[in-house]
Amino acid sequence: MLKRVGVVAVLVMTVSDAFGDWQTVKLKYEAPKDGFRYPTRMWRGADKEPPTNLKETPAAMATKHPVYFNIELGPKADELFAAALDESKGDGKGYDRAFVDCNRNGRMDSDEMFTAKNGADGFLVVGPVELRRSKNGKTIPWAIRIEWRPGERDPYPMTTIGFKKTGYAKLNGKRVRVGLMDERLNGRFGLRFQGSIILDEDVDGKFDMGTGESHILGKYFRYQGRFYRLQVDENGDWLKIDDAIVPVGKVWSECKDSDLSFQDNDGCLSVSTDSNGVAEVPVGTWWWYGYHAMFKQDGKTWRVIGDSQRNIMQCDVGTERTIRLPSLQFTPKLTATVRGREINFEFKLEGRWGEQVSNINQLNPFKQPPEPKLILSGPDGKVLASLDFKPG
């Protein structure tokens, strides 16, 4: 009887190994450097009252109007860090520093005060602020940066993650620096919408977020035209990469040089179409749900970003035939909401599947279309009011 149990165990291991040739890449915490684009999270909980996890207001607080918020690294109580913005020169002089209860003892001491400096895009930035999160009895360093717009009376502080986890993988015979980013800033990694994998594809020592070196985490990622299967540790301590060849099929879209987003039960996949509108996709059942589509109009190229909560189309991708994706169509939609003596007008572009068209722009140089104008006229055709829509 005992012997039979042993045989079963050996068989299970053999079957799981037979699926591929997995390499394990150990990842290490890497302290933040400037010039790297990090994911951002806005803290809508910004409040005039101190949060309950703060027992004392800091003695060094100079403003009478602090802006409090909680930095949540995860769902547990020990992943909650109280923070506040302060005006060092006193009330009304401008928020220029932050306090963070880094050791979570309910107090913000003098060594937990951080002075802001001017950051990119006109923000004031503090950090890196190192926080410590515990996991299975281990302490994990976690660095964030906090930023806000200067001069605002009620600033909305935002945090960006200030670190990455990196290591080296062997891909296509080369040693490639790879890493993970916690896009959701929730302290969790995994295959379902929980972050991105970064690859230093051009071997310049940097992860270039805007030029295709960052990919949504899913069970596949692409390197030099080839798909690899991927497994990720929830803690971000390791990832596993399968060297076995992944069979691919094709999808065709009318949008050339565009990015298409798919998902299956295990996560997301983003692929790019070539100049003929063709993209390779690993064989399997995928649901198309989003796009960064490029359109040409009057000699100009516009990028339209659409994202659907529902799935636009199921694609059963096989190796034999190319899946044809339907055309994208957009409808302008104007809605008016009456609240007492006030009427709110909203103008948006809606996709054919009810997807939200969140952005339209031109790249290089970045440009948005002119803001639409709303003209209200009476029954006699006389113009009563003319208003510009503001984005947002």
Helix (H) and strand (E) counts in the chain: 1, 31
Concatenate the DSSP letters of all residues of 291-352 into one string.
EEEEEEETTEEEEEEEE-SS-SEEEEE-SSSEEEPPPP-EEEEEEEEEETTEEEEEEEEEET
Concatenate the DSSP letters of all residues of 162-227 into one string.
--EEEEEEEETTEEEEEEEE-TT-SS---SSSS-EEEE-TT-SSS--GGGT-EEE-SSEEEETTEE
Instruction: Tell the smallest beta-carbon distance from residue 168 to Ca ion (Å).
Output: 14
Q: Is 233 in contact with 28 (CB distance < 8 Å)?
A: no
Task: Pick the binder of Ca ion from 24, 52, 53, 105 (CB under 5 A).
Answer: 105
Half-sphere exposure of residue 133, counting CA atoms within 13 Å on the CB side?
Answer: 23
Instruction: Tell the smallest beta-carbon distance from residue 358 to Ca ion (Å).
Output: 27
380 binds Ca ion (CB under 5 A): no
250 binds Ca ion (CB under 5 A): no
How many residues bind to Ca ion according to rule CB under 5 A? 9
By C-beta, is 91 or 204 nearer to Ca ion?
204
By C-beta, is 130 or 254 nearer to Ca ion?
130
By C-beta, is 35 or 392 nearer to Ca ion?
35
By C-beta, is 54 or 161 nearer to Ca ion?
54
Task: Pick the binder of Ca ion from 87, 101, 147, 259 (CB under 5 A).
Answer: 101
Task: Pick the binder of Ca ion from 208, 233, 243, 257 (CB under 5 A).
Answer: 208
Q: How many CB atoms lie within 10 A of CB 215?
A: 19
Task: Pick the binder of Ca ion from 206, 226, 324, 348 (CB under 5 A).
Answer: 206
Q: Is 57 in contact with 66 (CB distance < 8 Å)?
A: yes
Beta strands 196-199 and 80-86: pairing type? unpaired
58 binds Ca ion (CB under 5 A): no
Per-residue x/- marks for Ca ion, 163-202, CB under 5 A? -------------------------------------x-x
23 binds Ca ion (CB under 5 A): no
Return residues touching Ca ion (CB under 5 A): 101, 103, 105, 107, 200, 202, 204, 206, 208
